[in-house]
Structure 1
């Protein structure tokens, strides 16, 4: 099988499995469009929002119950350090930069903005530098595309008042930026306590045709991922759980509210598809 996984220490042992081709893609998110548009890989790490949109568009992939990365995102809504203070509810009518409207970090940020500050996705103009991964998706009218090279450039040029750029943003773009949310770490912990789960960013999917033709090989990959993530901090790990179901339900609800998907996300159907790997 052709497999794409991020270069995490915990999965390096998985890449030692014989008989498979592990494809290195950097940055990792460059693999996502290749997967959902051309089914270029057999097993692929995928951003949650991309998975939800692919499923909504009928792309033939199945979710493996594996979370590769995740975490809270109150720290990911930022501004320049020398810019005036701007409370989150002050974003109504403003322009906010984000790499892509369908980026998963943006999904979680917009969700908390609506939930905690009453700011709907449509209250903001989202200025993007990249197109969605899923070709069938059409962005809502409150999304604009910029020819800027990066979201950080949008901030520096004053084209946006804030940006979805966390500490782990690609290329170090989030370095030195200031969170709009005061005590973002505490706010993130409160979100987790309130919802009983941790936001999921990257999952793993398998092509349906591969699952039908060689399920044992897929089982081998899943077992290796489960062993590799056994001691990881939530939400990273393998296996269906109430926490994963809650994250999918909340992320799916946010996706509907933000016009990322057309239909409500059927978490029970996703669980049924992953039943092969449930315990």
Structure 2
């Protein structure tokens, strides 16, 4: 039987490197890998479903699942996980603490981005600032014409406005027209205009560690998707994809733990790795539903709370049933 030739679009992550190099293979698949930025993958996947297997925004996938329009079925491979306490920038000359954001304007590239959901969640849960207390200003980071990828139907209590024509949220922050900025990328500001701009939290790592100790949540940003029509024709495929990506991630961690030479271009990489394991456990970058159900449940509840999903989506309808359990010996 010939193998399925399928396109696979994911980011250039160390946890995928064994797949790119051929050290790990997807059973029954002859993959054509495309290493692309998340922005390009998501735009092409959610607009035109261009890829057979691809990285997907968790938030966009939930919006589409709630509406019954997601062309992919989820696989619980969490290619991107990130604490987002360092993704919040503010005018330091007027915002000193999270509570100062009440009644203020905060820019974001898209209201529905996964990072935005997590940030709004910890603002409300940990600092008492509700999404309804902020005016959200949507605009591009570097391109004023950046669109929202998918249509949203937000409740009237959420104040979301567009940036003025020709203005990016980076420029609005630099000019003081908005008070804060949240995005997966830093604001595009050069020169002296950044003088009064900095992180909301002076030590975002300390804030993130305290958040993890309170909630034991390592936020999930991206999942993996298999085109629904292909999964229906080949029901073995989502499980095979999960198996291969999990093996690749495990091999990546094994290689990081081998300390004869530094694998990444950072000093103190070994010390950082052991610190993270002491905080979060040896398999801190967990794939699968087991070990992540509480993270996913929290996100799905917050997603609906923030008006992004028309109903409370369940884990079972987001991910393919073949990926919930794996064999053991």
Normalised by the length of structure 2, the TM-score is 0.74
Of residues 246, 252, 257, the one that matches 2:300 is 252
Q: 1:159 aligns with which of 177, 185, 191?
A: 177
Whether 2:183 is the aligned partner of 1:183: answer no
- Structure with bigger gyration radius: 2
2:170 and 2:187 in contact (8 A); partners too: no
Quote the Cα distance in structure 2 between the aligned partners of 1:19 and 1:275: 20
2:150 alignment partner, one of 130, 134, 137: 134
Conserved in 1, the CA contact under 8 Å of 2:106 and 2:178? yes
How far did 1:114 drift? 0.8
- Structure 1 vs Structure 2 CA RMSD: 2.7
1:7 aligns with 2:12: yes
Aligned CA distance change for structure 1 residues 148 and 258 (closer, same or farther; 3 Å): farther
Counterpart CA distance in 2 for 1:61 and 1:19 is 19
Q: Is the 2:239–2:322 Cα contact (8 Å) retained in structure 1?
A: no
**Separation of aligned partners in 1, 2:122 and 2:180:** 15
Name the CA shift for 1:178/1:145 in 2 (closer, same or farther; >3 Å). same
Query: In the comparison of the two structures, how many residue pairs are matched?
Result: 272
Kindly state the Cα deviation for residue 124 of structure 1 after the two structures are TM-superposed: 0.8
Q: d(CA) in 1 for partners of 2:149 and 2:81?
A: 19
- Structure 2 residue 215 is the aligned partner of structure 1 residue 199: no
Q: Which residue of 1 aligns with 2:126?
A: 116
Within 5 Å, give how 1:220-239 maps onto structure 2: 220-230=240-250, 231-232=252-253, 236-239=285-288
Q: CA deviation at 1:163?
A: 0.7
- Indicate how the Cα distance of structure 1 residues 173 and 101 shifts in structure 2: closer, same or farther if over 3 A, else same: farther
Report whether the alignment pairs 1:97 with 2:90. Answer: no
Q: CA deviation at 1:19?
A: 2.2
Pairing 1:209–2:229 present: yes
Q: Secondary structure at the match of 2:80?
A: strand
125-134 vs 95-104, which moves further: 125-134
Cα distance in structure 1, aligned partners of 2:201 and 2:305? 22
